[in-house]
């Protein structure tokens, strides 16, 4: 069975590269938000998220940055916080055929929201 012909023939390569990046971004957000983290464990968590998400189909690279300042400001007397979207700066690079998409998630101060968006597409 050819998976491409069976399940993806109704979309273009451009749409597919965006789809794969967006699926990874959504999975990352919903899988890792709520994870206990502190300044000492943040680097390990960043690496774990990166390595896990790079296993997804068509994903070329994932960059994860957890805001250490926010971790310190939110830290409880138990020396950790639950990771939230405001703390994340994510870059996902997906590639399919000759197309490449870069998707981002970052906290946008004026929106007061961790926005996910397509940063650019290379055709």
Alpha-carbon distances, residue 123 vs 8, 70, 99 (angstroms)? 18, 37, 5
Q: How far apart are CA 97 and CA 80, in angstroms?
A: 42
- Mean pLDDT, the chain, whole residue set: 95
Annotated binding site for substrate: 20, 116
Annotated binding site: 20, 116
**Which residue ranges form the domains of the chain, and what is each CATH number?**
11-121 (3.30.1300.20)
Structure tokens at 49: 């998220």
- Mean pLDDT of all residues in 70-89: 93
Percent of the chain past pLDDT 70, that is, above it, reads: 99
In tens, the pLDDT along 12-59 reads 999 999 999 999 999 999 999 999 999 999 999 999 999 999 999 999
Question: Does the pLDDT value for residue 96 go beyond 90?
Answer: yes
**Angstrom distances, CA of residue 115 to CA of 9, 10, 25, 27, 109:** 30, 28, 11, 15, 10
**CA-to-CA distance for 59 and 96, rounded, in angstroms?**
9
> Model pTM greater than 0.85?
yes
1 pLDDT tier (thresholds 50, 70, 90): low
- DSSP annotation of 78: T
């Amino acid at each position: 069975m050819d998976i491409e012909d069976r399940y993806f023939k109704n979309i273009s390569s451009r749409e597919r590269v965006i789809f794969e990046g967006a699926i990874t971004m959504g999975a990352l957000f919903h899988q890792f938000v709520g994870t206990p983290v502190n300044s000492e464990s943040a680097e390990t968590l960043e690496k774990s998220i990166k390595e896990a998400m790079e296993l997804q189909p068509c994903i070329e690279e994932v960059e994860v940055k957890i805001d250490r300042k926010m971790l310190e400001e939110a830290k409880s007397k138990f020396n950790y916080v639950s990771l939230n979207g405001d703390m994340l700066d994510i870059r996902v690079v997906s590639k399919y055929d000759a197309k490449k998409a870069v998707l981002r998630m970052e906290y946008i101060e004026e929106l007061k929201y961790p926005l996910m968006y397509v940063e650019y597409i290379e055709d």
